Structure 1
Amino acid sequence: MTEPQTTEPRTFEKTRTSETVLQRITALRAPRKLLGLELSLLLFALVVGIAAVISVDLTVVGTVTTNLLVPSIIFTAALLSLHLTVRKVAPDADPLIMPIAAFLNVVGVAMIYRIDLSRGHFGWEATSVKQLIWSAVALVGAILVLVLIRNHMVLFRYTYITGFAAVILLVLPMVPGLGREQSGAHVWVEIGPISFQPGELAKILLAIFFAGYLVRNRDSLAMVGKKVLGIRFPRARDLGPLLVFWLAAMAVLVFQRDLGTSVLYFGLFLAMIYLATGRIGWIVIGGGLFLVGGLIASQTLDYVGNRFANWLDPFADPYYASHQMLQGLFGMANGGMTGTGLGQGYPGDTPLAQSDYIIPSLAEEIGLIGIFVILAAYLLLVGRGLRIGFAGQDDFGKLLASGLAFTLAFQVFIVVGGVTRVIPLTGLTTPFLAAGGSSLVSNWIIIALLLLLSNSVRNRPKLVIRS
């Protein structure tokens, strides 16, 4: 009598365990079925872009034109090629990341095209055409990243090489004969007819370097130190990396006159060191260094002081120093909740409306509701990146995914905060939306890396073995 009673529960338990294993295997392979969802969302993003361009044409020109037909076909071919590459190389990648980036990209192109029409720019020299071509180049770059890297752990082996390469890229604009000044900032490199911002690629290399360095040195940075008022602060000898990157950020600010990039680099390192160690002490010290650096820069550097002055009182010099900021604010106010409609505002009145001030340009024509949709897309994109980081198998992948997500989040916050007077204006570009080839290439490479990382997170045979 006792024999069957002991056997039956074991059989039942065995069956239940088998079912659990099967469910987990199905759950792990479910993302492969979501590739159809990714394609559907990509097509939806393209339809949104086409509809926006047609709306601009009908409103401004009065008829549908073919101004963007050829570059749009090139861009669409590159985007679908990236989708097919993901199917082959990273079939378990997050299906929402690429469509969100594509949506932001096409919305930006439509707005840039609208500004081109208001200024009478047509043909292959128009900024919107260049934006589509650069978008296609960026998508090809993303494809190369997926094909050549395959496994993100390869990057861990080259931690210090990527750090050295990032330093070289940061120094390039200061090399005589290569660097070019634009709008007072020394962040451009010009080689023949091609000009680019090496700092855009440097931010990716720095994220890789930070992730590798912090994984290797996390114990000494996290476990040692004295407690003051309940907060454990690091030892003086461990403050070296923080001080080095604080000085590097200040050097970018002083020599390249680029406030936004210096804030981005230092903020990225501070966020990643906190994620790696979990110590509030790093945030306190880093925040203190940031405030001290900002105070010194505002008092000693004229262009930083002017930005602070314009931020505090934009009406002090409305026809010169604060003209751009005020035009952007007036444009956003003119848009209201629902906007004037695509093609019915005056975004071209704002200097650099297609790049630094593309958010106010969009706010004027699609309103606060439209801007909320765009910010929600950014929030979802950053959230997916952080989710990849928190679910990662290895410490390097966790830190890298989180660092890349923070890079996008910092950029959006710095830009949107600047044009709305939450913080002083810095001059960074809005990811995927603003005109700029260097920014597009670097941000699509970030998307490719996030796709690789999400593929490694979802394709985890170890979970099945543990079951």
Structure 2
Amino acid sequence: MTDAPRRSPGQGRVRRIHLPQKLRNLELFLLLVACGINAGAVVLVQLGALGHIDTQLVLLGAGLSLLVLCLHVAMRFVARDADPFILPMVTLLNGIGVAMIYRIDIANKESGWQSASVRQIAWSAIAIACALAVILVIRNHRVLFRYTYIAGFVAVVLLLLPLVPGLGREVSGARVWIGFGEFATFQPGEIAKIALAVFFAGYLVRNRDSLSMVGRKVLGIRFPRLRDLGPILVIWALSMSVIIFQRDLGTALLYFGLFLVMLYLATGRLSWVLIGLGLFAGGALVASQVLSYVNGRITNWLDAFNPDVYNADGGSFQLVQGLFGLAKGGLVGTGLGQGRPDITPVPQSDYIIASLGEELGLAGIFAILALYLLIVARGFRIGFAGQDDFGKLLGVGLSFVVALQCFIVIGGVTRIIPLTGLTTPFLAAGGSSLVANWIIAALLLRLSDTIRNQPRLVV
């Protein structure tokens, strides 16, 4: 019999962090609660708006719940130690969004298989299937590090697709869609934000030293050298091109904000943040003076209740109607099925928060915001718990995408910032947004499972 190798007194031992299967049991319990709340929301919408229960949408919602439970079962085998809270929370948000879109369908007298709510359920099923594929295919998040530059190339291609003649489509003034024939079917920029997060994480890990250690100090702040400004200038130019050619201010802000936060996390240099904010503010200021639609958004924001602005073509009518809807909701709302969310233009996508605020009130909006806050907090916790820099940057970057997108959308609806037209994650109608955000949730689940199973040194 051979003796086991001995360790010196100062040498640590390797221990794996492994949590028992009770994490999945907790997830199952929370999933059942979330599915129950979603079913109750649909029933309340029907009783409030129709006065009776229609079993068609209830059965479709039950099928969606079954698909989520299939994802849970798969995780019991391939991601046993994944975070138990993320999947129930995104399921709950997705279901609440379906219920409100269904409520708006009733107000607009839309029904059947062509209604927005049925399309949202179909896209939700596709999104959950994509999340399941991510969980099954990507067994370790470090694999993505090998494809850093491929991810960057894919992101650029996806961003350019809407500009291709015959393929790109312009919807509500923004050219961010692609489609075939007369239909705008997909928004590739939603998937591009995931590819950009992977690229930024890999690039910053490889080049962190040159970006963080070299430069001159000015007023106690170390600024980078001019030749090191290349990455931020490239992303700034990319963001400005999205504003100019695709007429999408919100997406440009999302991309640039994602890179800036990940850059600060990788280097710890406040100078990068100051330079980035200065570049974006300067670009936005020039765009507001040169581009009419950017100037219009700012005018609507600053002078929304001016009758001339309110009644103008492309004016502040939508913004003001959304504010009136939120005001009507008050503290506890009118009740599901009892409001008039259809008065506001496109209430199922851009203004679903205003629709929910009218029928659920301030208390309901706070509950929804708390769910987003918990998702982002869990994502940050997953990222910072990792021992590898790539996983840390990727986890925080993906979580920040959700947080920043919520701020941009809800800030625009509540008139904190100019309205940009992005969709609220998991809630708003839109297939590409649902697919992208469910993939983000799946990547966070995979990250949490990998991190909890990684070996740690115990001294």
TM-score clears 0.5: yes
Equivalent residue number for residue 107 of structure 1? 96
The reply on whether 1:91 has 2:80 as its aligned counterpart is: yes
Contact 1:31–1:95 (CA<8 Å) still a contact in 2?
no
Equivalent residue number for residue 234 of structure 1? 224
Instruction: Name stretches of at least 5 consecutive residues in structure 1 with no aligned partner.
Output: 1-20
Task: Give every structure 1 segment of 4 or more consecutive aligned residues whose post-TM-superposition deviation is greater than 2 Å.
Answer: 28-32, 191-194, 460-463
Equivalent residue number for residue 302 of structure 2? 312
CA–CA distance in structure 2, aligned partners of residues 292 and 213 of structure 1:
26
Q: CA deviation at 1:337?
A: 0.8
Equivalent in 433, 436, 459 of residue 430 of structure 2: 436
Equivalent residue number for residue 323 of structure 2? 329
Contact 1:432–1:440 (CA<8 Å) still a contact in 2?
yes
Q: CA deviation at 1:318?
A: 1.7
Contact 2:39–2:58 (CA<8 Å) still a contact in 1?
no
> What amino acid maps onto 2:350 in structure 1?
D
CA–CA distance in structure 2, aligned partners of residues 263 and 189 of structure 1:
21
Q: Secondary structure at the match of 2:131?
A: helix
Equivalent residue number for residue 259 of structure 1? 249
Equivalent in 158, 168, 174 of residue 185 of structure 1: 174
Contact 2:177–2:184 (CA<8 Å) still a contact in 1?
no
Contact 1:67–1:123 (CA<8 Å) still a contact in 2?
no
Contact 2:169–2:184 (CA<8 Å) still a contact in 1?
no
Q: Secondary structure at the match of 1:370?
A: helix
TM-score w.r.t. structure 2 length? 0.94
The reply on whether 1:409 has 2:409 as its aligned counterpart is: no
Q: Secondary structure at the match of 2:56?
A: coil
Instruction: Name stretches of at least 5 consecutive residues in structure 2 with no aligned partner.
Output: 1-12
More helix by share: 1
Equivalent residue number for residue 126 of structure 1? 115
Q: CA deviation at 1:70?
A: 4.0
Q: CA deviation at 1:73?
A: 3.2
Q: Secondary structure at the match of 1:227?
A: strand
Q: CA deviation at 1:194?
A: 6.6
Contact 1:274–1:283 (CA<8 Å) still a contact in 2?
yes
CA–CA distance in structure 2, aligned partners of residues 32 and 123 of structure 1:
42
Q: Secondary structure at the match of 1:206?
A: helix
Q: Secondary structure at the match of 1:318?
A: helix
Q: Secondary structure at the match of 1:434?
A: coil
Percent identity for Structure 1 against Structure 2: 62
Q: CA deviation at 1:103?
A: 0.8
Q: CA deviation at 1:48?
A: 0.6
> What amino acid maps onto 1:218 in structure 2?
R
Q: CA deviation at 1:319?
A: 2.7
CA–CA distance in structure 1, aligned partners of residues 450 and 395 of structure 2:
11
Contact 2:191–2:436 (CA<8 Å) still a contact in 1?
yes
Equivalent residue number for residue 8 of structure 2? none
Q: CA deviation at 1:66?
A: 1.7
Contact 1:31–1:93 (CA<8 Å) still a contact in 2?
no
C-alpha spacing 1:338/1:69, structure 2 compared with 1 (3 Å): closer
> What amino acid maps onto 2:70 in structure 1?
S
Equivalent residue number for residue 207 of structure 1? 197
Equivalent residue number for residue 342 of structure 2? 348
CA–CA distance in structure 2, aligned partners of residues 197 and 110 of structure 1:
23
CA–CA distance in structure 2, aligned partners of residues 459 and 391 of structure 1:
12
Equivalent in 365, 376, 382 of residue 371 of structure 1: 365
Equivalent in 400, 404, 418 of residue 412 of structure 2: 418
> What amino acid maps onto 1:356 in structure 2?
D
> What amino acid maps onto 1:115 in structure 2?
I
Q: Secondary structure at the match of 1:164?
A: helix
> What amino acid maps onto 1:397 in structure 2?
G
Q: CA deviation at 1:364?
A: 0.5
CA–CA distance in structure 1, aligned partners of residues 99 and 73 of structure 2:
25
Q: Secondary structure at the match of 2:310?
A: coil
Q: Secondary structure at the match of 1:425?
A: coil
CA–CA distance in structure 2, aligned partners of residues 109 and 184 of structure 1:
26
Equivalent residue number for residue 454 of structure 1? 448
Contact 2:167–2:179 (CA<8 Å) still a contact in 1?
yes
Q: Secondary structure at the match of 1:422?
A: coil
TM-score w.r.t. structure 1 length? 0.93
Q: Secondary structure at the match of 1:92?
A: coil
CA–CA distance in structure 1, aligned partners of residues 253 and 424 of structure 2:
15
Matched length: 443
Larger Rg: 1
Equivalent in 232, 236, 242 of residue 246 of structure 1: 236
Equivalent in 172, 181, 189 of residue 161 of structure 2: 172
- Describe how 1:33-112 pairs up with structure 2 within 5 A: 33-112=22-101
Equivalent residue number for residue 17 of structure 1? none
Report the RMSD for the aligned CA atoms in angstroms.
1.5
Q: Secondary structure at the match of 1:91?
A: coil
CA–CA distance in structure 1, aligned partners of residues 303 and 44 of structure 2:
37
> What amino acid maps onto 2:406 in structure 1?
V
Q: Secondary structure at the match of 2:177?
A: strand
Equivalent residue number for residue 160 of structure 1? 149
CA–CA distance in structure 1, aligned partners of residues 46 and 269 of structure 2:
54
Q: Secondary structure at the match of 2:423?
A: coil
Q: Return 31-40 or 395-404, whichever deviates more.
A: 31-40
Q: CA deviation at 1:265?
A: 0.4
Contact 2:39–2:61 (CA<8 Å) still a contact in 1?
no
CA–CA distance in structure 1, aligned partners of residues 352 and 214 of structure 2:
46
Contact 2:190–2:433 (CA<8 Å) still a contact in 1?
yes
Q: CA deviation at 1:462?
A: 2.5
The reply on whether 1:138 has 2:127 as its aligned counterpart is: yes
> What amino acid maps onto 1:92 in structure 2?
D
Q: Return 318-327 or 330-339, whichever deviates more.
A: 318-327
> What amino acid maps onto 1:298 in structure 2?
S
Q: Return 203-212 or 318-327, whichever deviates more.
A: 318-327
The reply on whether 1:271 has 2:261 as its aligned counterpart is: yes
Equivalent in 181, 184, 188 of residue 198 of structure 1: 188
Contact 1:67–1:122 (CA<8 Å) still a contact in 2?
no
Equivalent in 278, 284, 295 of residue 288 of structure 1: 278
> What amino acid maps onto 2:69 in structure 1?
L
CA–CA distance in structure 1, aligned partners of residues 361 and 56 of structure 2:
26
Q: CA deviation at 1:78?
A: 1.6
Contact 1:74–1:133 (CA<8 Å) still a contact in 2?
no
CA–CA distance in structure 2, aligned partners of residues 29 and 153 of structure 1:
19
